[in-house]
């Protein structure tokens, strides 16, 4: 009975997923209509299983007699040369039912694969991408992004800022911030100095880019990096700039010497 319930539930979920084009997030948070469909389907399966058990108990004695008489008539196949005696029994019903279920599922899958968007990687990617954008918008509404007016240094942003720095900035400024094709970020020389404080000046440059160097594009204004991530980057750059342990091999100074706090 439990096996039948398990397989029946799988078939119900599979049908919902294929024909209603539902993803697994939908199944985790279904609407009331789908919940009632699940409940009614399971109740019908349970009722049918109980009825089947009742009929089985009533017919058990008759079946036992038939089985005993049938057992005497069981055919055997004697291979002869190897001494193996093979019973010529019929295939069990549960095996036939399981085999039939696999055929039905394969037919459903075949039709859905060729005539619907099921298992279409491009469609699934577009759907997942749209859902991700919706989640990002909802998250941004609940948690406002940092700006040049609200940005501030915070130690808790250093580790996340380091990861973002390695992903976006290390190619030009070196992994330790000592400079490569981009300027050294650990000294007091600045090509761009638009703000009076260090944290805001770094935020401004990452957000608006540099007019002196087109490679340093406007990561924030273009939407490539969000305000909260730029705050994390700015906190990390502030940290390595104010840290007493400077990189050994740094790039030569560029720009004007300005002490920014």
Per-block average pLDDT, block size 10, for the chain (261 residues)? Answer: 64 62 51 63 72 68 58 63 70 84 86 76 86 84 86 94 95 93 93 92 95 88 92 95 90 89 82
Question: Is 126 a member of any domain?
Answer: no
Q: Supply the pLDDT for residue 33.
A: 57
Q: Supply the pLDDT for residue 151.
A: 94
Q: Supply the pLDDT for residue 170.
A: 94
Q: Supply the pLDDT for residue 16.
A: 63
Question: Is 94 a member of any domain?
Answer: yes
State how far the Cα of 193 lies from the Cα of 173, in Å rounded to an integer.
17
Question: Is 135 a member of any domain?
Answer: no
Q: Supply the pLDDT for residue 17.
A: 61
CATH number of the CATH domain containing 213: 1.10.760.10
Question: Is 143 a member of any domain?
Answer: no
Which residues form the domain of 9?
A: 1-60
Question: Is 221 a member of any domain?
Answer: yes
Residues 98 and 165 in one domain: no
Residues 88 and 182 in one domain: no
Q: Is the CB of residue 231 less than 8 Å from the CB of residue 203?
A: yes
Angle, helices 2-19 vs 32-72, to 10°: value is 140
- State the total domains in the chain: 3
Question: Is 138 a member of any domain?
Answer: no
Compute the mean pLDDT over every residue in the chain, rounded to the nearest whole number: 80
Give the tokens for residue 232.
């994390």
Phi, psi of 86, deg, nearest 5: -105, 130
Q: Supply the pLDDT for residue 227.
A: 92
Give the tokens for residue 202.
């770094």
Residues 101 and 32 in one domain: no
Structure pTM?
0.51
Q: Supply the pLDDT for residue 107.
A: 87
């Amino acid at each position: 009975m439990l096996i039948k319930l398990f397989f029946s539930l799988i078939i119900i979920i599979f049908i919902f997923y294929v024909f209603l084009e539902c993803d697994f997030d939908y199944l985790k948070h279904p609407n009331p209509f789908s919940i009632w469909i699940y409940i009614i389907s399971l109740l019908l399966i349970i009722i049918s299983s109980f009825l089947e058990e009742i009929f089985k108990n009533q017919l058990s004695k008759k079946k036992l007699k038939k089985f005993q008489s049938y057992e005497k008539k069981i055919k055997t196949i004697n291979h002869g040369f190897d001494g193996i005696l093979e019973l010529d029994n019929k295939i069990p019903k549960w095996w036939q039912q399981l085999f039939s279920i696999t055929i039905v599922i394969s037919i459903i899958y075949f039709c859905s694969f060729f005539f619907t968007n099921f298992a279409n990687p491009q469609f699934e990617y577009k759907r997942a991408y749209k859902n991700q954008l919706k989640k990002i918008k909802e998250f941004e509404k609940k948690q406002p992004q940092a700006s040049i007016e609200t940005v501030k240094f915070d130690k808790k942003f250093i580790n996340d800022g380091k990861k973002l720095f390695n992903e976006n900035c290390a190619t030009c400024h070196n992994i330790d911030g000592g400079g490569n094709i981009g300027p050294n970020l650990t000294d007091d020389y600045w090509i761009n100095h638009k703000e009076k404080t260090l944290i805001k000046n770094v935020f401004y440059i990452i957000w608006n880019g540099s007019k002196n160097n087109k490679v340093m594009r406007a990561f924030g204004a273009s939407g490539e990096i969000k305000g909260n991530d730029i705050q994390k980057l700015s906190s990390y750059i502030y940290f390595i700039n104010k840290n007493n342990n400077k990189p050994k091999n740094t790039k030569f100074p560029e720009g004007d010497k300005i002490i920014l706090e």
